[in-house]
């Protein structure tokens, strides 16, 4: 079976991966605020609905809807599975955000790009040099240090510990199903453009979640929560559009390494928002051990994504 190969325009892939990381770093804070007035299913449904409407209009004007004509049964099956995986990712991640802090959720979800990296190496036979393997190991070690730091703080009280475990479990499930979605999307790029793949996923998700959503809640939002909801919806379009294009131009294992820096950007976002408006989001409590883990994640990401580019060119 023919496997998808990146275009080789790694500079463009790098830029798009950084855009994705920035979007995902700011998303948990917006979600945490929006969840004050919306339930997780309604919030997720609205994000997919807006994305479906915008993407269908954009593809319709460009004549991109014809891509689905003649699509084989196997690829329709892959599309359906990819859609279900991404729906699961959204729902379980949002449930995780409810029970833990934004930075903790964003840290644990980084298992997703690590799983994607392993999948890219195993399934797509992506080459990985010894230095990049070392970088991947450093990323894993950094994440482990950060997790230990946060777990130590949560374990101080039984209620916080129980909530942390439940939230962590939800995020871990979200990471697993996201990795499956990402690898399926990369293979589907052989037949469909990334906007077409995302359109199918968005429409499917909006239809599947509608019976469980409560659209009437949207009419009760005040200005602040409406703005957060709008940002979450826009974030869906920008982040996944950039991510899909990054996979088209760069290897999945390299994209995943850049995405591993997202927890650091999330920490900076939480600190900045708390400094400007303390009532919006609580500060993160990170010790030297946690910051050491964060530094290791950055170093490992740089090694995994940038080493070997001379050989690739």
For residue 206, pLDDT beyond 90: yes
- Measured CA to CA in angstroms, residue 113 lies from 17, 87, 175, 251, 288 at distances of 11, 17, 8, 12, 25
For residue 156, pLDDT beyond 70: no
Segment 118-139 mean pLDDT:
80
For residue 152, pLDDT beyond 70: yes
Q: According to the model, what pLDDT value does residue 85 have? A: 93
Q: According to the model, what pLDDT value does residue 7 have? A: 65
DSSP 46-64: HHHHHHHHHHHHHHHHHTG
In terms of average pLDDT, the best of 55-59, 226-230, 277-281, 305-309 is: 226-230
Of 39-53, 78-92, 184-198, 216-230, give the lowest mean pLDDT range: 184-198
The per-residue pLDDT for range 277-294, each reduced to its tens digit, is 888 887 777 888 888 888
**Alpha carbons 91 and 141: distance in angstroms, whole number:** 28
Structure tokens at 35: 């969840």
The per-residue pLDDT for range 106-119, each reduced to its tens digit, is 777 877 877 887 88
Segment 195-215 mean pLDDT:
92
Q: According to the model, what pLDDT value does residue 312 have? A: 43
Confidence of residue 306 (pLDDT cuts 50, 70, 90): low
Closest CA to 11 of 241, 246, 297: 246
Q: According to the model, what pLDDT value does residue 185 have? A: 85
For residue 313, pLDDT beyond 50: no
Whole-number average pLDDT of the chain: 83
Q: Which residues of 230-245 are buried (b: 16+ CB within 10 A; e: fewer)?
A: ebbbbbbbebbbbbbb
Structure tokens at 53: 């409407």
In terms of average pLDDT, the best of 153-157, 159-163, 250-254 is: 250-254
Confidence of residue 221 (pLDDT cuts 50, 70, 90): very high
Residues 6+ apart with CB under 8 A from 23: 235, 238, 239, 242
For residue 213, pLDDT beyond 90: yes
For residue 144, pLDDT beyond 70: yes
DSSP 276: H
Of 24-33, 51-60, 87-96, 293-302, give the lowest mean pLDDT range: 293-302
Q: According to the model, what pLDDT value does residue 157 have? A: 55
**Alpha carbons 138 and 303: distance in angstroms, whole number:** 9
Confidence of residue 94 (pLDDT cuts 50, 70, 90): confident
For residue 165, pLDDT beyond 50: yes
For residue 230, pLDDT beyond 90: yes
Q: According to the model, what pLDDT value does residue 5 have? A: 60
**Alpha carbons 246 and 82: distance in angstroms, whole number:** 17
The per-residue pLDDT for range 55-66, each reduced to its tens digit, is 899 888 888 788
**Alpha carbons 147 and 14: distance in angstroms, whole number:** 27
**Alpha carbons 109 and 260: distance in angstroms, whole number:** 9
Q: According to the model, what pLDDT value does residue 311 have? A: 44
Of 14-28, 87-101, 138-152, give the lowest mean pLDDT range: 138-152
Q: For a pLDDT cut of 90, what percent of the chain falls above it?
A: 26
Segment 170-189 mean pLDDT:
89
């Amino acid at each position: 079976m023919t496997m998808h190969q990146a275009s080789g325009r790694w500079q463009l892939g790098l830029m798009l991966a950084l855009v994705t990381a920035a979007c995902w770093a700011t998303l948990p804070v917006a979600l945490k605020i929006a969840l004050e007035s919306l339930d997780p299913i309604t919030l997720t449904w609205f994000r997919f609905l807006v994305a479906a409407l915008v993407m269908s209009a954009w593809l319709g004007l460009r004549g991109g809807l014809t891509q689905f004509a003649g699509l084989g049964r196997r690829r329709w099956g892959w599309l359906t599975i990819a859609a279900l995986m991404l729906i699961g990712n959204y729902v379980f991640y949002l449930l995780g955000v409810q029970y833990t802090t934004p930075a903790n959720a964003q840290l644990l979800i980084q298992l997703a790009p690590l799983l994607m990296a392993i999948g890219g190496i195993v399934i797509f036979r992506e080459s990985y040099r010894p230095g990049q393997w070392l970088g991947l190991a450093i990323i894993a070690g950094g994440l482990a240090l950060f997790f230990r730091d946060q777990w130590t703080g949560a374990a101080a009280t039984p209620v916080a510990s129980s909530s942390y475990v439940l939230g962590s479990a939800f995020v871990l499930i979200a990471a697993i199903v996201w990795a499956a979605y990402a690898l399926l999307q990369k293979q589907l790029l052989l037949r469909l453009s990334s906007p077409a793949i995302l359109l199918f996923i968005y429409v499917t998700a909006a239809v599947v979640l509608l019976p469980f959503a409560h659209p009437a809640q949207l009419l009760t939002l005040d200005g602040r929560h409406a703005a957060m909801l709008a940002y979450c919806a826009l974030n869906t379009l920008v982040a996944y559009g950039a991510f899909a294009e990054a996979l088209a131009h760069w290897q999945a294992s390299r994209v995943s390494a850049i995405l591993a820096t997202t927890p650091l950007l999330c920490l900076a976002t939480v600190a900045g928002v708390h400094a400007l408006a303390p009532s919006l989001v609580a500060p993160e409590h990170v010790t030297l051990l946690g910051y050491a883990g964060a530094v290791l994640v950055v170093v490992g990401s740089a090694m995994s994504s940038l080493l070997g580019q001379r050989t690739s060119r």
